[in-house]
Amino acid sequence: MAEANESRIFPDHLFMVGCGNMAGQMLSRWLACGLDPARVTVLRPSGRPVADGVTVVTDYPDALPPGTTVLLGMKPYQIDDVAAALGPRCSPDTRLASILAGTTLATLRAHFPHVRAIVRAMPNLPVGLGEGVTALFTDERTDVEAKAAVDALIQPLGLAEWIDDEALFNRITALSGCGPAFLFRFVDALARAGEAIGIPAEQAARMALATVQGSANMAAEAAVSPAALADQVASPGGMTREGLNVLDADQRLLALLTDTLAAARNRGEAMARGA
């Protein structure tokens, strides 16, 4: 039964172009969920190993095995060189998933004209824990079976969100793809603020992280919205309410985060234009 489940989740062969922070997290999770490392090949110019049993090559193979899913995980600016070398090795049956920021589906199709099934994916780093968010987009050329196969591959990584309008992709990337970095910055700022009011630095760091982790878990399990939870914690005239009054004044926290996401979105759109 385990082998049958694995065959439904994982492709016959996974060929990864690049294995940096994000792609490496994805691979780590897939291996933890039962992907046979013998079914994985990673193209890595450095030749450095990535995991036990995974084949690492420094150049493209002569041909890709039947049933291959390709994951593009290199830097977006490398797309021209990668496509020139990899494109002729792809067949119509090859499935291609790209995690290249700012690289549109039209660009991918122009570079890989023989591939029918192409999916854009934008994961975030918690995919390595199976608690990530991955936005997905494709078009009508990708058939239902291929779309389902990519969906099954992404499911072990956490939440998989398909979108119907590619114009939303950079906006969603700003929220979920970039979001972990923004949250890490918030945790650091919360700890430093604790230090600023007199809590020992190491204690403030531990307590800030545990507070955010526990609160996020609580929000995920709650039957009400995070906004409602905040109000439940804040007693009238109490300490929490006094602090929320600072965050809520002139909607300063909302304005700050909106500006942050807008800046990230705008950069993604500029990258798509080649800027």
Q: What is the pLDDT of residue 13?
A: 95
**For 57-83, what is the mean pLDDT?**
93
In whole angstroms, give the CA distance from residue 110 to residue 7.
31
Burial of 47-84, coded b for 16+ CB within 10 Å and e otherwise, reads eeebbeebebeeeeeeebeeebbbbbbbeeeebeebbe
- Percent of residues, the chain, with pLDDT higher than 70: 97
The strand pairing partners of 71, in sequence order, are 16, 97
Q: What is the pLDDT of residue 10?
A: 92
DSSP 200: -
Q: CA nearest 68: which of 146, 144, 141, 123?
A: 146
| Beta strands across the sheet bearing 40-43 | 55-57, 40-43, 13-17, 68-72, 95-98, 117-122, 132-137, 158-162
- Percent of residues, the chain, with pLDDT higher than 90: 86
- State pLDDT tens for residues 206-219: 999 999 999 999 99
- Backbone φ/ψ region at 8: left (φ over 0), alpha (ψ -120 to 50), beta: alpha
**Collapsed DSSP state (helix, strand, coil) of residue 162:** strand
pLDDT-derived band at 1 (thresholds 50, 70, 90) equals very low
Q: What is the pLDDT of residue 211?
A: 97
pLDDT at 105 over 50: yes
**Domains, the chain, ordered by start:** 2-164 (3.40.50.720), 179-272 (1.10.3730.10)
- State pLDDT tens for residues 35-53: 999 999 999 989 999 999 9
Q: CA triplet 141, 90, 87: central angle to 5 degrees?
A: 95
pLDDT-derived band at 150 (thresholds 50, 70, 90) equals very high
Q: What is the pLDDT of residue 271?
A: 80
* pTM of the model as a whole: 0.85
**For 9-27, what is the mean pLDDT?**
94
